[in-house]
Chain A
């Protein structure tokens, strides 16, 4: 599938925005001129990472303080343990394009309250 056009490449360094693409809720951040893109969902309790605090390329979730490195998606602070899905991005023709290989499909049907 490859790259999909996400936003205009007009964010100032240190700014961020959110966008939906191919079923994914994405957080797009300009870190020192690089556009970094991760899923906008903390892997601990699903809070929106866009509400968190940015420090360089590291974001701290506003809900319980989990920390992620936006350059790799890696979890670098508890209580989360899993890395957040990270997407390659490039600037082309004035737009940020994000590489999304898999559409995020709606959850499979529920069998009961717990799964």
Chain B
């Protein structure tokens, strides 16, 4: 496709708190990415042994652990994990399993409690997973050593308004694992945002195909034709870091693939209204909208109840889109955040759980909306909104194709280099760990 324009970038990189300089292009080769990575049982097991049990994982929104005794049950693979806020104000993660006979101790998705009581024989644990009470304790001739029988704890820490845990007791500190992420994203003040949408969709696709679907803009023109009139799909800055990566997608501009960039479509008008710029009184054309929104935010953010002073101008319109390896995708705007968490199915590489959360910055003086109820449903049973419906429609067909004898593997363009970087990082985990001599 012809490209008719370039996108004007933020003028002064030094003035931006979020680093904006382009990273050097990674040299990741041009090989086919084998399809077996998405379909094979052997690869699924490798991922469990060397990836899922070796990384930091986002466990829950910290807003769900605001008060002492708040707890959340989260699941990854076959493991169920309890996250708690204890009496000392700390966060804890431990396996959801009773040390007595192996039953679970926390039920449902979460709540508030003083202790966890196993439903089988009423063994009781405190908010740190330590033994609080064992009925008929005198009938255990071997004793009930509290230290030995505390539920196995996991590394647990907070960043960005979320509680993170790892199944690897020896993992590096969260801050080290996150690397560049806090420096890049703290200017958005995620911990001050509020959760407004919380769903889980059961998808018939490998978890990586779902991650891939959001990490390239090559598909915008074909899958989301309606977006071409109000965001850029070609002139997108891609940066790959050690294990995480990002791209910066200009919003509020007509795609540079469209020759006439002056039109202001209904989609563009919607984006303008969402950014408090009235399209009916706007005198510029489509080429002026992006800068006009940025100026408008600078002039009016404070009176609208927002403090956007830590963000650069481009952040006031664009989607700063990050992948926190391996499975957290963040679509970040000045006052809103859309988060995806892809979780693998416990046994079937052709299935996954797609967690979709939206967060919003509530303006000063406005009431915080109540926490939305979590909903879980099968793909297709409910709409996720037009754009995500378009994305998700492709995916079951992609998974069927991956399983076809007629398909070899992923043939990747430069526009899709984040996918290559993602797989390279997966390889770093899978094969670094397996050759490590311990």
Contacts and interface: CB of A to CB of B under 8 A. Distances in A.
Given A81-B393, A82-B393, A110-B274, A115 B225 contact: no
B314 to A, nearest CB: 15
Contacts of B387: 114-115
A64 interface: yes
A46 B387 CA distance: 13
B231 to A, nearest CB: 8
Which size class do B's interface residues fall under? 20 to 34
B319 interface: yes
Interface stretch (B59-67, B86-94, B164-172, B330-338): B330-338
- Of A64, A81, A110, A115, chain B has the most CB atoms within 10 Å of the CB of A115
Given A46-B226, A79-B222, A113 B360 contact: no
B3 interface: no
A77 to B, nearest CB: 15
A71 interface: no
A115 B358 contact: yes
Interface in A99-115: 110-115
A103 to B, nearest CB: 16
Interface in B291-318: none
A contact residues, range: 10 to 19
A114 B274 contact: no
B178 interface: no
A111 B199 CA distance: 13
B251 interface: yes
A45 interface: yes
B196 A111 contact: yes
Interface in A61-115: 64, 79, 81-82, 110-115
A113 B386 CA distance: 11
Contacts of A82: 393
Nearest to B197: A111
Interface string B244-283: 0000000100000000000000000001001000000000
Would you list the 8 A-B pairs with minimal beta carbon distance, nearest first?
A115-B385, A111-B358, A112-B336, A45-B225, A111-B197, A114-B387, A112-B338, A115-B388
Given A110-B274, A115-B356, 14 more contacts: A45-B225, A45-B226, A79-B222, A110-B385, A111-B336, A112-B333, A112-B337, A113-B336, A114-B331, A114-B385, A114-B387, A114-B388, A115-B358, A115-B385
